Amino acid sequence: MTAIRILGLDPGLRRTGWGVIAIEGARLTHVAHGVIAPKDNLPFSERLLALFEGISEVVVAHAPHEAAVEETFMNNNAASALKLGHARAMALVVPARAGLPVAEYAATVVKKSVVGTGAADKTQVAFMIARLLPKAGPASADAADALAVAIAHAHARKARSFGAAA
């Protein structure tokens, strides 16, 4: 059985977290993680380009087989929600352009998969990532969230494979 690498992305215009895990059977292992943070003073189009290029570099460097992106929650500020949607588009387009299947998960699903409750906060998610992927070392909140998205996808794909076998 060969390991499947999963890229998890937590999109944001200021900070897009990314994390790559490998799954082999029931075993999850940390591959890499980080944050893509375009400079705030760049024009909007260049910030999006920085996200596109940064995610592209992660895909080339770590050659994932699948990708998973966290869905964004609805923001009360329409302009902020629209800008976040653009960042999310980069997180969806780059892996798709590389030929990867891309899954999307609600934040509550991700939190429940990793912490056990959909109401978990960022501190609880980071705590569980440190326990589930001890070789990851310390991860920023954005990178921990991205690793959590990858873990949620690993759990969901396992559940789908069990369902197909039934």
Q: Is 24 a catalytic residue?
A: no
Catalytic residue, candidates 70, 71, 104, 145: 70
Nearest to 31 by CA among 64, 80, 77, 76: 64
Residue 125 tokens read as: 């998610």
Q: Is 70 a catalytic residue?
A: yes
Q: Are strands 4-10 and 66-70 parallel, antiparallel or unpaired?
A: parallel
12 vs 162: CA distance, rounded Å: 33
Residue type, 28: L
Question: Interior CA angle at 32 toward 30 and 35, to 5°?
Answer: 130
Q: Is 145 a catalytic residue?
A: no
Cα dihedral sign, 18-22-67-161: negative
Cβ within 8 Å of residue 99, ≥6 positions away: none
Residue positions annotated with a catalytic role = 10, 70, 142
